């Protein structure tokens, strides 16, 4: 029962880092898309 009360607090930083990684990859993907568009035109 103790693990159940602790796990939400332990998951918060993990979710935050995953969100940061996701946003970083999204920005990189946007950069690659814009580069490919500039090369094609």
Q: Read off the pLDDT of residues 4-29 as tens digits, 9 standing for 90 and up.
A: 555 666 666 777 888 889 999 999 99
Q: Is the pLDDT of residue 33 over 70?
A: yes
Based on the structure, what is the number of domains in the chain? 1
Cα 29 to Cα 39: distance, rounded to the nearest angstrom: 15
∠ at Cα 22 (25, 38), nearest 5°? 30
pLDDT, position 27:
96
pLDDT, position 15:
78
E strand map for 1-41: none
Can you give the residue range of the structural domain that contains 14?
1-41
Cα 31 to Cα 25: distance, rounded to the nearest angstrom: 10
How far from 38 is each of 2, 5, 14, 31, 33, CA to CA, in Å?
A: 55, 51, 36, 11, 9
Which two tokens mark 13? 């930083």
What predicted TM-score, i.e. pTM, was given to this entire model? 0.53
């Amino acid at each position: 029962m103790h693990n159940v009360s602790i796990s939400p607090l332990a998951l918060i930083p993990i979710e935050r880092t995953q969100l940061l990684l996701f946003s970083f990859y999204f920005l990189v993907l946007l950069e690659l898309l814009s580069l490919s568009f500039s090369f094609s035109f």
